[in-house]
Structure 1
Amino acid sequence: MELFRDRRYRHLFSAQVIALVGTGLTTVGLALLASELAGERAGEVLGTALAIKMIAYVGIAPVVGAYATRLPRRALLVTLDLLRAAVVVSLPFVTAVWQIYLLIFLLNACSAGFTPVFQATIPDIFEDERRYTQALSLSRLAYDLENLLSPLLAALLLVVMSFSLLFVLNAAAFLLSALLVVSVSLPSPYPQPAGGGVWARLIQGMSRYLHTPRLRGLLALNMAVAAAGAMQIVNTVVYVRHALGMGETHVAIAFAAAGGGSMVVALTLPKILERLDQRPVMLAGGLLMSASLLAGLMAPGFALLLLLWFVLGAGASMVMTPTGRLLKQSCQAEERPTLFAAQFSLSHACWLVAYPLAGWLGSALGMMNAFAALATLALAATLLAARLWPAEKTQARAWKNES
């Protein structure tokens, strides 16, 4: 592919894939660790742990985004990879729930710094929209590899090893990611205009995001993605192991189903976006996720659950794949770090609401009530997005032309 002729992108994409596949192993391992420590309360524990993850994201990402223009990108990304490796390798030694909470916060504090800086680097490598859209599709594909290949790999590894070793493999993945990042020179951040400190830029990024109609619609769609994704991530282990009475391998396969749907969409969407506007595609993704959750009220068996999670993953990818393009169209080049950080923080604020909600509803009121409540939330968020984001003739206007 044309994109991989650029050595910088080739190494960065490889680093992203390796780190995400390792992170996917930790997602499966964390679910099983919660099940081991808390039994049928695993969904509640996992929901709380993932809410703590979101607190780290929401609180730290905007600060890093505001400082990003002052820090050398390569050194920052490598340092955060090394710190993530040190934290994740500690997870096999956890013996109490509070230790899970502490390590998850530390791990994701590092990820909250890494991800927005990484995302803001790609449009500086590919300035033209066609190649950047292709890069976004591949980036979405990388996340889908986490959701699809990691659970399948985990299912195979769990046959021959304890789930605690999944954390060790994730640490090795972070180390390899750091080696790939350090092997290339990255473009320097765009210089910031004189005047205004770090906190002024932080507030400016949030303000510009929330004053842009299409991005307000995107925020509502982020809530739909979070509602659907939280149900799938938090309650899969509970539903498969306790409602269906199946084992660890089936849990991993169920996680993979959502990644499969997302991957299919990520591969086909760039061509679709050449013919269709991104707004109806993203709104259709919200409706697909809502329909998948509503179908969960049929108390699905394992085969139907795989189909529902596949559809849910496809809908999520229809929303998330074009997100970077939407952000790029809504700001000037020098504003990207703060706007990408604002998207990272605000989208994960949605997950901060959805994760504990999914865990608490599933634990206290049962799976069917959890399906119903989160389906309602996803549908309401999608309808709100359609209202907040008016149809546009062109998507290429910068924020300053909309304000």
Structure 2
Amino acid sequence: MANLSLFQSLRKPTFARLYFAQTISLFGDALTWLGLALLAFELAGKDSAVVLSVALTLRVTAFVILSPIAGAIADRLDRKLILVITHIARMLIVGTLPFVNAVWQIYVLVFALNVFNAFFTPTYQATIPLVTSKAEYASAIALSAATYQLLGVLGPGIAGSVSTWIGARQIFFLDAISFLIAAVLIFTLPNQLRVKQSEPLEESRVVSKIIGDVKEGTIRLFANAFIRYALFLQLVASIAGAQILVNTVGYIKGTLQLSSLEYGWVMAAFGIGATVAAVTVVAIGKKWEHTAIVPFGAILITSAILPANYVGLVSLMLLWAIAGMGQVFVNLPTQTLIADQIPSNFQGRVYGAHFAWSHLWWAVSYPIAGCLGSQGNMSFLYGSLIGFTVLTGVQILLSPKTHEHQHEYLSHDHEHIHDEHHQHDHHEGVLLTEPHTHIHEHLQIRHRHAHYTDIHHLHSH
């Protein structure tokens, strides 16, 4: 029933159009990156790993730098206009990719493309409250986040299957059409999507507020032992995942001397594994703690790439399906941990900080993958060894020593009178012999391994 509740927000036509526009846009992103992998191999051959690693690093760099700024701009302009412009711009950029004939052109177009991507994502997230009610908002956010995570892993597999039918360069035309469809869906949304500013902020205050929110989100992100542990395990998964995204095309088309068709099959296997994990992760989460699922996923994806340099097509497809499962087992429970561990009024800042830090991991991992891919045919083996080294360090230094639990502070007033069992100080003027009220603050601790709730009373006056 919890899974079904995610889709209740789609009953509102305005949000449904916005959501389907996002889904089509994410599918377009998947087409872009698979097409770029094939294009990089066509132009650079054995050096395609370097080309891809640079391109993907430019992508996450644009996200980390520009997303906070985009969020501030989204508070001042019509968000519908921003969303339409970002889609049209991306349509035009990917429409030129089939005509690329030099590596430097890939770098320029990729950076330009992801400047607009960086503006789309936070603007979309900020638009959801404008097109949903308070009752629908939570499920709408959850559905959008789940779709983003799922298509991030499934997308390359779906795109790989599509590329086998229409060709490597032609895939960019389909990509452009997807962005156009998404732009039309957003354009048909009613009225403007603009937030009224109670008091316009000076630019210096805007920058200061952005920095303050990112700082506070980061502090809370790293202060929680469980989330900090999961975040660094995402680094492990990023190291292994970057090897897959950067070096698979070179291994399939270079080492194994196979075609784009087989490359599509392998990436589709990665997506199938991710799908299986996404379907089962909720059921597994009822039996295992999140801090057990996340390291299991990190071990799964890191182990999957260990023997990959020594196998053929069928075995590689099986390994990549396992790797896809591992990637989801790391990413989705980490998102849930934030929701479980962070008070709702701080979750926006923590999710924003998590977005920046998790993309920073990829900015570190892509160059590693490119460097290993350019040095020979052992990139997967060495990448796995690096991943296991980081995993060991994280497990020794950051693994929480206690079970997961959630702290939540609740406050209320109630009347009471002092007796021999109930004594505490009061402000001047309060008669201790008369019934009176004051605020009680409760620290509620929810233990995942228990079937009861402990309440400890903390008094504040």
Which TM-score band (shorter chain)?
A: 0.7 to 0.9
What SS does structure 1 have at the residue aligned with 2:405?
Answer: coil
Alpha-carbon spacing, 1:380–1:110, altered in 2? closer, same or farther (3 Å)? farther
Gaps of 5+ in 1: none
**Matching residue of 2:370:** 359
For residues 121 and 392 of structure 1, the distance between their equivalents in structure 2, rounded to whole angstroms, comes to 37
Deviation at 1:89, TM superposition (A): 1.0
Gaps of 5+ in 2: 410-442, 444-461
User: Structure 2: which amino acid aligns with 1:265?
Assistant: A
Q: Which moved more, 1:300-309 or 1:137-146?
A: 137-146
**Matching residue of 1:306:** 317
User: Structure 2: which amino acid aligns with 1:258?
Assistant: F
For residues 191 and 319 of structure 1, the distance between their equivalents in structure 2, rounded to whole angstroms, comes to 39
What SS does structure 2 have at the residue aligned with 1:211?
Answer: helix
For residues 326 and 122 of structure 1, the distance between their equivalents in structure 2, rounded to whole angstroms, comes to 22
- Aligned to 1:222, which of 234, 240, 258? 234
**Matching residue of 1:171:** 176
- Pairwise CA RMSD of aligned residues? 3.2
Alpha-carbon spacing, 1:165–1:270, altered in 2? closer, same or farther (3 Å)? same
For residues 283 and 243 of structure 2, the distance between their equivalents in structure 1, rounded to whole angstroms, comes to 30
User: Structure 1: which amino acid aligns with 2:269?
Assistant: A
**Matching residue of 1:197:** 205
Deviation at 1:304, TM superposition (A): 1.0
Q: How does 1:140-155 map to 2 (within 5 A)?
A: 140-155=149-164
- Aligned to 1:233, which of 245, 250, 260? 245
Alpha-carbon spacing, 1:381–1:69, altered in 2? closer, same or farther (3 Å)? farther
Alpha-carbon spacing, 1:393–1:221, altered in 2? closer, same or farther (3 Å)? closer
- Structure number with the higher helix fraction is 1
CA contact (8 A) 1:85 1:175 kept: yes
For residues 73 and 347 of structure 2, the distance between their equivalents in structure 1, rounded to whole angstroms, comes to 12
**Matching residue of 1:253:** 265
CA contact (8 A) 2:218 2:354 kept: no
**Matching residue of 1:46:** 52
For residues 359 and 336 of structure 1, the distance between their equivalents in structure 2, rounded to whole angstroms, comes to 34
CA contact (8 A) 2:238 2:362 kept: yes
- Aligned to 2:398, which of 388, 391, 394? 388
What SS does structure 2 have at the residue aligned with 1:90?
Answer: helix
**Matching residue of 2:106:** 100
> Which protein, 1 or 2, shows the higher relative CO under an 8 Å CA cutoff with sep ≥ 6?
1
Q: How does 1:105-124 map to 2 (within 5 A)?
A: 105-119=111-125
TM-score, normalised with respect to structure 2: 0.75
- Structure number with the higher strand fraction is 2
**Matching residue of 1:85:** 91
**Matching residue of 1:21:** 27
- Aligned to 2:358, which of 347, 359, 371? 347
Alpha-carbon spacing, 1:396–1:282, altered in 2? closer, same or farther (3 Å)? farther
Larger radius of gyration: 2
Q: Which moved more, 1:233-242 or 1:176-185?
A: 176-185
Alpha-carbon spacing, 1:37–1:396, altered in 2? closer, same or farther (3 Å)? farther
For residues 217 and 127 of structure 1, the distance between their equivalents in structure 2, rounded to whole angstroms, comes to 31
CA contact (8 A) 1:69 1:337 kept: no
For residues 155 and 165 of structure 2, the distance between their equivalents in structure 1, rounded to whole angstroms, comes to 15
Alpha-carbon spacing, 1:12–1:141, altered in 2? closer, same or farther (3 Å)? farther
What SS does structure 1 have at the residue aligned with 2:307?
Answer: helix
What is the percent sequence identity of the aligned residues?
32
Deviation at 1:24, TM superposition (A): 2.0
What SS does structure 2 have at the residue aligned with 1:284?
Answer: helix
For residues 182 and 243 of structure 1, the distance between their equivalents in structure 2, rounded to whole angstroms, comes to 46
For residues 13 and 342 of structure 2, the distance between their equivalents in structure 1, rounded to whole angstroms, comes to 27
Alpha-carbon spacing, 1:171–1:67, altered in 2? closer, same or farther (3 Å)? same
Report the number of matched residues: 392
Deviation at 1:194, TM superposition (A): 10
**Matching residue of 1:278:** 290
Residues 64-106 of structure 1: per-residue CA shift (max 9 Å, x gap):
2344434443332222112111211111221211111000000
**Matching residue of 1:10:** 16
Deviation at 1:274, TM superposition (A): 4.3
Residues 260-289 of structure 1: per-residue CA shift (max 9 Å, x gap):
111111122233334543222222211111
